[in-house]
């Protein structure tokens, strides 16, 4: 579905919800499957669990940063659809996919050649390094498939077909869980590969997901309408515009991942309990972000289509409606965080000391849910306009300029412990929301960032 004209009709709320809900469901499924993976590897012992955690961080830091072309592909696709130039979607996808796969192939070769180098920076334990290397040797070959999945999904999201990504994404995570069970423990007639099996399961499931999306793209009506996956699809003139839209998103993802890594190092200076409780609270909070993240994707598509149709008023109206819906969704999570933090902590932690430490900071998270909704949704609106550099700058400055210094100052220097360190988290989310709102309100929506790129 597209949103042409929907911003002027009462059906805008339903249209945005239909776009956002599949993204939310796919992301929730991925988060839950990640928890299942952790539980499975955790049965092998502490060292394998730590190794997979560290190695996954390395893989995510590289792959998630390089796959930022998905933001560019979604935004440029939405603009083409809004303009009524459906046939230009194919070249956008082909060019973005080629760029991402080129970067993925180079990164794959480097990581396979020196898998232990990044692990040495994150762990002093020789067992963790060895097992982490085993994981990367089977996970890294799937990097190009991982990136291709997100690039292909972003094209369908930009068209407005978010259900395609949802169906394939959920299927990918189910396959990953089944293969994990078989390859980690030697079930279903598969070899017992333990940590290496976890990496191989993710690689195979990513490849199958790509094949599923390609099958959708090659359906005759779809391929003909959008000129998808054609031999003449590569467009050198799109390399610059796509890269200018994509690179800030990559820097933003990498900056956020590194900031969280440093934050956990700060928590480690406080206590092991602080690390454990902080990890649990952030996992719970990740679920609460899903309504706004899904709505942000929907708003990104809607704003891109509206600006492509030269209708900036609809872009503004759509973004504001999306913010309202996100505030409702995340506000409900906030109420639960405030009312029943102990029960939520008990679902993810059995140690009463960890639960007790997490209760007050989970309550604090409840207080900023509405701010998170504003920031995450308006970030989607700005990306839809092509203003990815603004989103990146606000996030990186608020994270490295305020989040980490205040977390160290209040948590370690002033002896505030976990509660003091969490002031930094609240500052990060709040300042990000304020920055997004300020840029959104002052932005000249008649200026098409994508066209000018």
Give 305-324 pLDDT, tens digit per residue: 988 888 888 888 899 999 99
For the beta carbon of residue 14, count every other beta carbon within 10 angstroms: 11
For the beta carbon of residue 28, count every other beta carbon within 10 angstroms: 17
> Which of 378, 374, 380, 286 shows the shortest CA–CA distance to 333?
286
pTM of the entire predicted model: 0.85
Distance CA 124, CA 122 (A): 7
Q: How high is the pLDDT of residue 184? A: 92
Give the pair of three-digit tokens for residue 54: 């560290």
Residues of the chain with pLDDT under 70: 1-10, 32-35, 38, 46, 122-123, 348-349, 444-453
Q: How high is the pLDDT of residue 77? A: 95
Q: How high is the pLDDT of residue 442? A: 82
Q: How high is the pLDDT of residue 125? A: 75
CA distances from 278 to 285, 375, 388, 445 (A): 10, 22, 29, 39
Distance CA 450, CA 453 (A): 5
Q: How high is the pLDDT of residue 225? A: 93
CA distances from 142 to 60, 202, 208 (A): 12, 7, 11
For residue 132, count CB atoms less than 10 angstroms from its CB and return exposed for 0-12, middle for 13-18, buried for 19 or more.
buried
Enumerate the domain spans of the chain.
20-234, 245-453
The alpha carbon torsion through 419, 423, 425, 430 (nearest 10 deg) reads: 140
Q: What is the residue-wise DSSP string for 84-137?
A: T-GGGHHHHHHHHHHHHHHHHHHHHHHHHHSTHHHHHHH---HHHHHHHHHHHH
Please tell me the total number of residues recorded for the chain in this structure.
453
- 50, 128 Cβ separation under 8 angstroms: yes
């Amino acid at each position: 579905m597209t949103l042409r004209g929907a911003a002027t009709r009462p059906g805008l709320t339903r249209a945005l919800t239909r776009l956002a809900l599949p993204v939310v469901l796919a992301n929730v499924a991925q988060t839950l499957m990640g928890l299942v993976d952790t539980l499975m590897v955790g049965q092998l012992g502490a060292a394998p669990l730590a190794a997979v955690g560290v190695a996954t961080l390395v893989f995510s830091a590289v792959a998630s940063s390089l796959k930022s072309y998905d933001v560019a592909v979604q935004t440029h696709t939405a603009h083409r659809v809004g303009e009524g130039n459906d046939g230009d979607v194919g070249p956008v996808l082909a060019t973005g996919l080629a760029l991402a796969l080129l970067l993925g192939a180079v990164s794959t070769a480097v990581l396979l050649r020196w898998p232990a180098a990044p692990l040495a920076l994150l762990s002093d334990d020789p067992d963790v390094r060895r097992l982490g290397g085993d994981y990367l040797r089977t996970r890294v070959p799937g990097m190009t498939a991982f990136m291709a999945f997100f690039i292909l999904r972003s094209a369908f999201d930009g068209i407005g077909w978010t259900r395609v990504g949802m169906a394939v994404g959920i299927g990918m995570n189910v396959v990953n869980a089944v293969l994990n069970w078989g390859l980690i423990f030697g079930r279903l007639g598969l070899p017992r590969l333990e940590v290496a099996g976890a990496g191989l399961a993710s690689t195979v499931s990513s490849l199958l997901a790509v094949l599923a999306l390609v099958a959708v793209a090659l359906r005759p009506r779809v391929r003909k309408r959008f000129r998808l996956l054609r031999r003449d699809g590569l467009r050198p003139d799109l390399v610059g515009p796509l890269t200018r839209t994509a690179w800030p998103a990559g820097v933003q993802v990498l900056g956020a991942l590194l900031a969280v890594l440093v934050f956990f190092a700060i928590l480690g200076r406080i206590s092991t309990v602080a690390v454990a409780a902080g990890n649990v609270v952030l996992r719970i909070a990740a679920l609460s972000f899903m309504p706004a993240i899904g709505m942000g994707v929907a708003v990104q598509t809607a704003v891109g289509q509206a600006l492509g149709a030269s209708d900036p008023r609809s872009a503004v109206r759509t973004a504001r409606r999306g913010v309202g819906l996100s505030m409702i969704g995340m506000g409900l999570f906030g109420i639960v965080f405030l009312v029943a933090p102990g029960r939520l902590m008990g679902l993810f932690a059995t140690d009463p000391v960890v639960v007790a430490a997490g209760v007050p900071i989970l309550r604090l998270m409840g207080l900023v849910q509405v701010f998170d909704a504003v920031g995450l949704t308006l970030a989607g609106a700005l990306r839809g306009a092509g203003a990815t550099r603004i989103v990146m700058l606000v996030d990186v400055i608020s994270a490295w300029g305020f989040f980490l210094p205040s977390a160290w100052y209040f948590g370690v220097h002033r002896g505030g412990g976990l509660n003091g360190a969490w002031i930094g988290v609240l500052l990060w989310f709040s300042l990000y929301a304020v920055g997004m709102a300020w840029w959104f309100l002052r932005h000249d929506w008649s200026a098409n960032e994508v066209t000018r790129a």
